[in-house]
Amino acid sequence: MSLLIKNGLVIDPQNHTEAVMDLLIDGGVIKKAEPEIVAPDAEVYDASGKVVAPGLVDLHVHFREPGLEYKEDITSGSHAAAKGGVTTVVCMPNTKPVVDNAALVKYVINRGKEVGLINVLTAGCISKGQKGAELSEIGELAAAGAVAVSDDGRPVVSSSLMRKALEYAKMFDIPVFSHSEDLELVDNGSMNEGYMSTVLGLRGIPKAAESVAVSRDVLIAKQVGGRLHVCHVSTRDSIEAIRAAKKCGVHVTAETAPHYFTLTDRACDGFNTNAKMNPPLRDEDDIAAVIEGLQDGTIDAIATDHAPHHRDEKELEFEQASNGIVGLETSLGLGVTYLVKTGKLTLCQLIEKMSTVPAQIIGFDRGTLGIGKIADIVVFDPDATYTVDVSKFESKGKNSPYDGFQLYGRVDMTITGGKIVYRNTEY
């Protein structure tokens, strides 16, 4: 079956395309992209006034399967992704058990295929059991399809293990995703250290807890090579460390999450556990630095760190509540509203950060609308607003600080491999 998307603003950062035209999809691939395509047999979708872009690639999600399905599973996570315009995700391996062997890598990928909505990819663990002691079988993980290795959720405490991970993973050409955090400096903190932590009487996490660890990681990467990818960057000093490393030619990439350019630690006021995440929400200066980092390319990608939790894990004393928020169903809207509508990034740059570059980081042939490429596509209306309503989330997790926010960038259709996997029926 073929699909003809008419009159959309087709944006393909990889091919420097940004023009109103038609797009013909047939046999799961992009057949044509030109004005006034005639295809009598194709289903026609009128995308006038809308953007047609490569489907989003989210490098950092927690689908919780296997083992923690009460929070999320690959089915609900895939639906959430499709609704958010995300056609490829990289699952973090901190499941139960952790994904530190080839069998589990295959399990996650196969479950994703069974569900069949989006490309569910996974990272494998850096260390066996995520214990931070010995390398896991990174070669086997890569051969089974893991696109990265990460101990995400926990930092690699040992500098020596981080060195070995970078050296070893280099042989298999997969990046090491680093959750960079100095636990001694965290010292049981539960939110950013600053005025708000003082007022709320909550133990603060200094910015240095992240920046020190990021600095360590880029310096190790400088020494031994490998492909370092720094996850969820949130502080100015981390960004400056990455910027300096890039300048010296270190092979480092970095991602941030929408919450780090939209919210400050003031969102924690009233002990709001939906504003509790790790790294914690910072302050205005860090938001400015994150945006500068996105603008000058220091930060390559926007990933959600989609972290669904059961309400019983959030309706608790702040210090006891789990870290993390769901993000798949709000990421594009937050990007459009806080980066594009404010003039910080162009739509093309936003798509580059949310699709093209993340696909390149994991070496996955997506993130483009080139002719002959697999048709993973998002169609969204950058000027239409919608109100975030967590009760309507496809994700099992309702833990979002954005409930009630008005956002631009409504997703109207998501296509994976030429198949429509989400269609907005409310409008």
Partner 1 sequence: MKDLLGLKDVSGQEIRRILDEAFRLKKEVLEGSKKDSCLSGKSVITLFYENSTRTRLSFELASKYLGATAANIAASGSSVAKGETLIDTAKTIDRMAADIVIIRHSASGAPHLISRYTKAAVVNAGDGMHEHPTQALLDLMTMQEKKGRIEGLRVAIVGDVKHSRVARSNIYGLHKMGAEVVLAGPSTLMPADLEAMGVKTYCDVDRAVYGADVVMGLRIQLERQKKGLFPTVREYHKFFGIDERRLKLAAPDAIVMHPGPVNRGVELSADVIDGPQSVICDQVTNGVCIRMAVLKMLAER
| Positions marked catalytic | 305
Taking contact as CB under 8 A, which single stretch among the options 102-110, 193-201, 254-262, 401-409 is the one that binds partner 1?
193-201
Taking contact as CB under 8 A, which single stretch among the options 10-18, 65-73, 136-144, 309-317 is the one that binds partner 1?
309-317
CA distance 290 to 284: 10
Q: Which is nearer to partner 1, 43 or 284 (CB)?
A: 284
Q: Which is nearer to partner 1, 44 or 208 (CB)?
A: 208
For partner 1, the binding residue among 200, 301, 359, 411 (CB under 8 A) is 200
Question: And the tokens for 155?
Answer: 């930092």
Q: Which residues of 239-257 are buried (b: 16+ CB within 10 A; e: fewer)?
A: bbbbbebbeeebbbbbbbb
Closest approach, Cβ 309 to partner 1, in A, equals 14
Binding to partner 1 by residue 201, rule CB under 8 A? yes
CA distance 302 to 296: 14
Site string for partner 1, 228-267 (x = CB under 8 A): ----------------------------------------
Is the Cβ–Cβ distance between 72 and 78 less than 8 Å? Answer: no
Q: Which is nearer to partner 1, 210 or 381 (CB)?
A: 210
For partner 1, the binding residue among 317, 343, 391, 426 (CB under 8 A) is 317
Closest approach, Cβ 211 to partner 1, in A, equals 16
For partner 1, the binding residue among 116, 195, 223, 371 (CB under 8 A) is 195
Binding to partner 1 by residue 295, rule CB under 8 A? no
User: How many residues are given for the chain?
Assistant: 427
Residues 62-91 that bind partner 1 (CB under 8 A): none
3-state secondary structure at position 354: helix
Taking contact as CB under 8 A, which single stretch among the options 124-132, 297-305, 317-325, 354-362 is the one that binds partner 1?
317-325
Which amino acid appears at position 101 of this protein?
A: N
Which amino acid appears at position 325 of this protein?
A: I
Known binding site for Zn(2+): residues? 60, 62, 152, 179, 232, 305
For partner 1, the binding residue among 65, 152, 193, 376 (CB under 8 A) is 193
Quickly tell me which residue has 């239409």 as its tokens. 384
Q: Which is nearer to partner 1, 65 or 265 (CB)?
A: 265
Known binding site: residues? 60, 62-64, 94, 152, 179, 232, 278, 305, 309
CB burial of residue 82 (10 Å; 0-12, 13-18, 19+): buried
The CA distances from residue 170 to 100, 165, 359, 361, in Å, are 18, 8, 18, 13
Binding to partner 1 by residue 198, rule CB under 8 A? yes
Binding to partner 1 by residue 279, rule CB under 8 A? no
Binding to partner 1 by residue 36, rule CB under 8 A? no
Binding to partner 1 by residue 372, rule CB under 8 A? no
Residues 6+ apart with CB under 8 A from 148: 59, 90, 123, 124, 174, 175, 176, 177, 229, 362
Is the Cβ–Cβ distance between 318 and 276 less than 8 Å? Answer: yes
Quickly tell me which residue has 């010995």 as its tokens. 134
CA distance 215 to 221: 10
Known binding site for substrate: residues? 62-64, 94, 278, 309
Is the Cβ–Cβ distance between 43 and 373 less than 8 Å? Answer: no
Q: Which is nearer to partner 1, 296 or 312 (CB)?
A: 312
Binding to partner 1 by residue 183, rule CB under 8 A? no
3-state secondary structure at position 242: helix
Q: Which is nearer to partner 1, 76 or 192 (CB)?
A: 192
Binding to partner 1 by residue 194, rule CB under 8 A? yes
CA distance 66 to 127: 18
Question: And the tokens for 256?
Answer: 């941030």
Binding to partner 1 by residue 184, rule CB under 8 A? no
Q: What is the binding site for partner 1 (CB under 8 A)?
A: 193-195, 197-204, 270-271, 312, 315-320
